[in-house]
Amino acid sequence: MKNMLIAFFAAVIGILIILIGFTIHGRSIRQMELDNGLKSSMEEAMTCLLYEEGRPESEEAWKAAFLQLLAVQINSASDLTVTFLETDMEKGLLSVEAVLTWNHPIGTQGSVSSVRTALLEEYEETEME
């Protein structure tokens, strides 16, 4: 009887340790996924402003293109909320806040967020004398 109790409590502790590991690992993976997705999506959105043939007609089309690029980058089973903090297509400014929410294996809800701003700079070549 004593050995059965020890085995039962060892199994419960083992399951709890595994769930804690999944929770911590899942959070770090989703934060990295969100950061990398925002970075690459912003780079692509800014690149399309440089060329006339791929340039969006309006700021709303530019935002929609950015959201499509970001949605492709997020592979995990989570809900994505994006808030545009500042956008200006003429100046090449894009500032967003993105929040990923998901359910942990233990049933609680987790979330990670990231705020990123991108500014497109154009340099003029000047002749040196």
pLDDT digits (tens, 9 = 90+) for 65-118: 899 999 998 887 888 999 999 988 888 888 999 999 988 777 788 899 999 998
Is 129 contained in some domain? Answer: no
- Structural domain including 83 reads 2-119
Q: Within 13 A of 73's CA, how many CA atoms are on the CB side?
A: 24
Is 39 contained in some domain? Answer: yes
The answer, yes or no, to whether residue 8 has pLDDT greater than 60, is yes
Number of structural domains, the chain? Answer: 1
Q: Residue 18: its pLDDT value, please? A: 86
DSSP H helical ranges for the chain: 2-50, 59-73
Max CA-CA distance within the chain?
Answer: 93
Nearest to 101 by CA among 85, 82, 121: 82
- Please report, for residues 24, 37, 74, 121, the alpha-carbon distance to residue 70 in angstroms, rounded to integers and kept in the order given: 24, 6, 7, 22
Is 126 contained in some domain? Answer: no
